[in-house]
Chain A
Amino acid sequence: MKHSLGLSTRQVQELLQRRAFLSTSASGIGTIVLGALADRVRGATPLLARTHHRAKAKRVICLFQSGGPAQCDLFDPKPRLEKQRGKALPDSVRDSQRITTMTSRQNALLTWPTPFRFRRHGESGIAVSELMPRLSQVVDDLCLIRSMHTEAINHDPAITFFQTGFQLAGRPSIGSWVSYGLGALNEDLPSYVVLTSQGGSGSQPLYSRLWGSGFLPTEHAGVKLRNTGAPVFYLANPPGIDGGLRRDMLDDLGKLNRQRQTVVGDPEIAARIAQYEMAFRMQASVPELADISNETAATLELYGPDVTRPGTFARNCLLARRLAERDVRFIQLFHMGWDHHSKIADNLPKLCRSSDQATAGLLIDLKRRGLLEDTLVIWGGEFGRTIYAQANGKNAGRDHHPYCFTTLLAGAGVKAGHVHGATDDYCYNIVEDPVHVHDLNATILHLLGIDHERLTHKYQGRDYRLTDVHGELVRAILN
């Protein structure tokens, strides 16, 4: 989070007045010291003074579908596979690639083509499953990457990998990298905000590390907006202290801290005063953000009936738009419940209902307001699901599948009505234009004006980056 610029400007002015002292040092060093010191006073200045290149996206909305949506039932049709129904998956397709111990214990891996129908939509004629009727209507705004792949096969490492570029805990999440690199656009709100929702029972849990700052300063960690109570931890004044009293107390606190600063001279005190003022502003700006009472009925309708209930994916999508309007840099939603090992025929339609309209509604709403032009929207999970069935009959589900899955992009700088990449007839392996998670992350950073190889942080003697030593920009999907 950025500190009050008013303050740092004043600080810098004070420092500038000291140049008489510095000029005696007979070199440019003084100016540099001054710059470094001004940075220190300002605290968390963005790492990058300017973006590496012109940014297409000012902000990102990531609609993470936690658990792994089944690409073969939703976005990657295989009409010719019907003939193979119930037959064993050919060894040549699996090619001894790893599968999880949940299905490796099964006697057979039987091919199970999707039970759902696909139809072509829009001018682009892209085929989408009947489970996503609303997304089908906006398909001309979407870019489908059908050739996503990842390295991990279990949820925890896979989702950690998606968020941090590494399967194990300890690295910063993508949103904190963005906050670290670019700083905030809005001084009254955090630059990285997280919202979570439940799509069904038995979801995979989420972990704080998914929006953590790893080894970056913790101020870049995502701030999770809560579904109940105060939207941010400890935001609300306690009972018995109203806004007027709080202001009164803060005024006293500010006076005392300023008096102390004149004695001690530590610029950190000035930064602390600024933080308390920002906290006070957040007490107004965050509830205002979460208050949807001034949204029109037409807008609410876009997101579907769930939008009236706090904590739903639909409500969070609406909040995402409100966050985007307020220029929050990285808006991260997690929608849980896509881990369909069993009863996919019942459970998948349910999850789709909770996600389809809200996602489409968000895209339409952003577009109407002109926000889609400079907002990148991402929809997808940590991996896909297997074409073969886990269990069978009514109980049939699909296991984790890291070798191909579909991620949707829309908005700033990305081709619309476009399909990138292709999978084989079994929706098992990628046959065209593979996109690794590192590639996607590199591309997201690129759209924000960041060269993923140059956004680094030195830790334990090494320059770390989100994409480790990998990542290729996916140029083919860019406008």
Chain B
Amino acid sequence: MTHQLIYATDGGTSATGSRPALSWWYVGWMLAGGLVVASTGMTQVRFNRDVLPILSAKCFSCHGADRARRKANLRLDKRDSAVANRDGRHAIVPGEPGNSELVRRIFASDRALLMPPAEEAAVLSAAEKQILRMWIAQGAVYERHWAFQPAERGSVPPGNWGYNEVDRFIAARLAKENLSARGPATRAQLIRRVSFDLTGLPPTRDQLDAFLGDDSPQAYEHVVDSLLKSPRFGERMAMWWLDGARYGDSHGYDNDLENSQWPWRNWVIESFNANKRFDVFTIEQIAGDLLPDAGSEQILATAFNRNHRIQTEDGAIDEEWRTEYVIDRIETIGAVWMGLTLGCSRCHDHKYDPISQREFYQLFSLFNNLDEKGFINNLRGSAEPRARYQPDEYARQLVAIENRIEQKEERKQAMADLESRYPLVMVMRDMEMPRQAFVLQRGRYDARGEAVEPGLPAALPALEPGVPVTRLALARWLVSGRHPLTARVVVNRLWEQLFGIGIVASSENLGIQADWPSHPALLDWLAVEFVESGWDLKGLLKQLVMSATYRQSHRVDEERLLRDPQNRLLSRGPRVRLQAEMVRDQALALAGLLVEKLGGPSVRPYQPAGLWEEVEKRGTYQRSSDTGLYRRSLYTAIRRTVPTPELGLFDMPSREVCTIRRSRTNTPLQALALMNDVTYVEAARKFAERIVTQDATPAARIAWAFREVTQRYPQPAELEVLHAGYLRRVAVYRRRPDQAAAILKQGESPLPADLDKIELAAMTTVASVLLNLDEAINK
């Protein structure tokens, strides 16, 4: 087992803490086989991969970039400081671990000399000490953090497995590990996977049959192309984008009343559907208002930076919260586009990444110039600055109302309707005179330090000479192609969407503390491709889903499970639980209830009664009366302080702050929701209607239903279980027709009069079992 694999299998075990695990891997490697390998000259310690994670986690907090916390004026993040002569001693003497103070101190048995100090929580493992010693012995070579260096296309590894370049990188790595790729997934498995990944919905029966019946070599490509063209694509991509954009439908504090930001969600969906170039998509959201000839759509796009929560609790200090919003914007942009935790520099220089506190407030100054309030008691709707959604259409209809409707009450109602269809949306609009920004000491709104002017972090590429630093310049800089992070971050996050785990497992952070990439060269190659393609999102996604890597079977065997437990090497196809929205949307689709309407205001589907009342001041939940019960889940209104439990149980974030990576849990509360929530009981009932109206025997109907859910026909043993269960429960309901009637009353949708209630109730239980299958909630 080689070093690379050790890293790969370790990465991303964040739930159990990756650092302790890392040290164990190292112990195993170093003490058992690694040193032998090293002595044969096959192993070179690499700074970025091996050394930096140790220094960063254990040393930099006192010997890093943060001036205020630095001890002994020693920096270990800079080579000149590390090797400098300090009264005849050197922290590091390259090539001479024996003469290096660092080595002496980390191995010290005297507690007074030991580093990290005994009273600190940081402790170096035996393996980590060995690595530091080896690194110094090998010359203490520093490398710049990989993600701050420009991505290079590099060369595609040779090979002949697969369909495109992605596969060469994957195959080369697998070969190195003596693992092999899996054979292709069945067509049924594949169309399920790609349909969920590109549209968030299962394939329809027609799509499945067409794919199975298409013998042409382009059959799969046709599927992919049609999914990318589907309007459902934009909705699926919006599910992804809205987490990072912390999109919600309420203000998020105190009594948490509704906002009216939903038109921005429309903009996102439409942009993805139109395959708007990602660079334009970026510029419009960050600085659409500053574009020459900015139209209403470009201004609407900037609502991205107004999706933060707004403080509505009496007694709050306006400036304190206004400051929080500016900081929230920087943190969110840092996470979404740069994979950096810029917020760490709010109070002090960043402990790991080269972002100083001063630079943080230089960025701050670009988002600090709105004529906005920090605190608005009982805010409902939008706060200034704001802009009308579709102003032309609004004006046209307004005139129509004024001209046509004379009766006062009627007119008032028409005006209210108009207002709700074309609301004012919170957007970015700078004041004529920008506010002077200051370094805020310890990040406090009222502790002003030195004044700062706009600027970009020095560790990242500079703007073209002569270009003033503005919000628009920042947006363009992010997508200039020269920024080392943006394309890597986006490619990595989309990879994560498809494969369940990023090439960099810590997709929310590509800074110095990031996990080491499983396939660094592939990440860079994809990033360069993405930029050179003209930031073509659909093109990138197509490239990924067309790969043989993606099209592998997801079956696991012992060897793969042991040697590639998280599938970071891609030794099989991805098998990942559906995300929250998809779980519900699939059930609605199978039930025939799903209303495929694009965009519009948020809706209020079923929610347990009394949820709002129990936490005070939230009023009473007014459930949508009509199609609102059956829209896709991304349209479900998000009240941030009392989220609908059903989506949250499946790990949908509360959208209070930017979330880049959702957790993916497996809990009994999920089981309870899928079994008992009226959403799923009604879905089972309506799905059962579709089943029992199939012109066939009960067994054949069940086989049909099984295929509707899983895209495959059941094995005889599977069908036997379901069919026997159906017959048993028919018998139960015959004895208890009241029970049959009760289950058929669940949900608002009507019950057809002409169906046999007993059969329908029993089939509802079968449908419920199908919706609860592990296979049904995995892609």
- Measured in the bound complex, the distance between the Cα atoms of B717 and A125 in whole Å is 74
Minimum CB–CB distance for B663 against chain A, Å: 4
Question: Quick one: which of B562, B740, B769, B773 contacts A260, CB cutoff 8 A?
Answer: B773
Tell me the nearest residue of chain A to B119, going by C-beta.
A453
Whole-angstrom CA separation of A269 from B677 in the bound complex? 22
Cβ–Cβ < 8 Å partners of B741 in chain A: 240
CB-CB < 8 A to B651: which residues of A?
218
A278: interface (CB < 8 Å): yes
| B558 and A21 contacting across the interface, CB-CB below 8 Å | yes
> Whole-angstrom distance between the alpha carbons of A168 and B675 in the complex?
35
Chain A residue at smallest Cβ distance from B18: A458
Residues B315 and A102 in contact, CB atoms below 8 Å apart = yes
Closest approach, in angstroms, between the C-beta of B527 and any C-beta of chain A? 19
Complex: A196 Cα to B562 Cα, angstroms = 45
Residues 267-286 of A, flagged 1 when their CB comes within 8 A of B and 0 if not, give: 11101110110110011000
Q: Are B732 and A232 in contact (CB under 8 A)?
A: no
Within 8 Å of chain A (Cβ to Cβ): is B450?
no
Query: Shortest beta-carbon distance, B245 to chain A, in Å?
Result: 15
Complex Cα spacing A206 to B613, Å: 10
Interface locus among B198-206, B359-367, B461-469, B638-646: B638-646
Contact call B717/A234, Cβ cutoff below 8 A = no
Report B-chain residues with C-beta under 8 Å of the C-beta of A420. Answer: none
Q: How many residues of B contact A (CB 8 A)?
A: 117
Q: Does B344 contact A (CB under 8 A)?
A: yes
- Whether the Cβ atoms of B654 and A276 lie closer than 8 Å is no
Residues on A with C-beta less than 8 A from B255 are: 205
The interface residues of chain A lying within 8 Å CB-to-CB of B575 are 264, 266, 268
The interface stretch among B39-47, B428-436, B509-517 is B509-517
A241 contacts B743, C-beta separation under 8 Å = yes
In the complex, A406 has a CB within 8 A of chain B: no
State which of A207, A209, A256 has its C-beta within 8 Å of the C-beta of B722.
Answer: A256
B677's closest neighbor in chain A, by CB? Answer: A234
Query: Which residues from chain B contact A206 at a C-beta distance below 8 Å?
Result: 615-616, 641
Residues of A within 8 A of B18 (CB): 458
Is B628's CB within 8 Å of the partner chain A? no
Most B CB atoms within 10 A — which of A233, A400, A462? Answer: A233
* CB of A449 within 8 Å of the partner chain: no
Residues A45 and B16 in contact in the complex (CB < 8 Å), given A256-B773, A264-B556: yes
- A33-B742 Cα distance, complex, nearest whole Å: 51
What is the minimal beta-carbon distance from B584 to any residue of chain A, in angstroms?
13
B352 engages A461 (CB within 8 Å): yes
Would you call A1 and B313 a contact (CB within 8 A)? no
A1-37 interface bits toward B, Cβ cutoff 8 Å, 1 = contact, 0 = none: 1000000000000000010011001111110111011
Q: How many residues of A contact B (CB 8 A)?
A: 108
Which listed residue, B561, B642, B677, touches A207 by the CB 8 Å rule? B642
How near does chain A come to B716, taking the closest CB pair, in angstroms? 11
A302 cross-chain contacts in B, Cβ below 8 A: none
B777's nearest neighbour on chain A, judged by CB, is A272
CB distance B554 to A240 under 8 Å? no
Give complex CA distance A233, B647 in Å: 12
Taking a contact as CB atoms under 8 Å apart, the answer to whether A29 and B641 are in contact is no
Chain A residues positioned under 8 Å from B744 (CB to CB): 240
Q: For the complex, is B314 an interface residue (Cβ under 8 Å from A)?
A: yes
Let me know if A97 is at the binding interface, CB within 8 A: no
Which of A37, A255, A256, A400 meets B565, CB within 8 Å?
A37
Evaluate contact between B654 and A232: CB separation under 8 angstroms.
Answer: no
Most buried by A among B555, B616, B774: B774
- Residues from chain B with Cβ under 8 Å of A155 in the complex: 254, 313
B614-A459 in contact (CB<8A)? no
Partner of A233, one of B649, B718, B740: B649
B670 touches A275 (CB 8 A): yes
Q: A204-B616, A205-B615, A282-B672 are in contact. Are A239 and B729 (CB under 8 A)?
A: no
- Complex contacts, B728 vs chain A, CB 8 Å: 248
Chain B: minimal CB distance from A362 (Å): 21
A121 at the interface (CB under 8 A from B): no
Q: What are some 17 contacts across the A-B interface (CB < 8 A)?
A: A33-B563, A39-B16, A155-B313, A168-B657, A169-B657, A198-B616, A205-B616, A221-B648, A238-B743, A239-B746, A240-B740, A241-B739, A253-B773, A264-B555, A268-B666, A460-B508, A463-B57
A-B contact sample (4 more), CB < 8 A, given A44-B15, A216-B663 = A44-B665, A233-B677, A249-B729, A275-B670
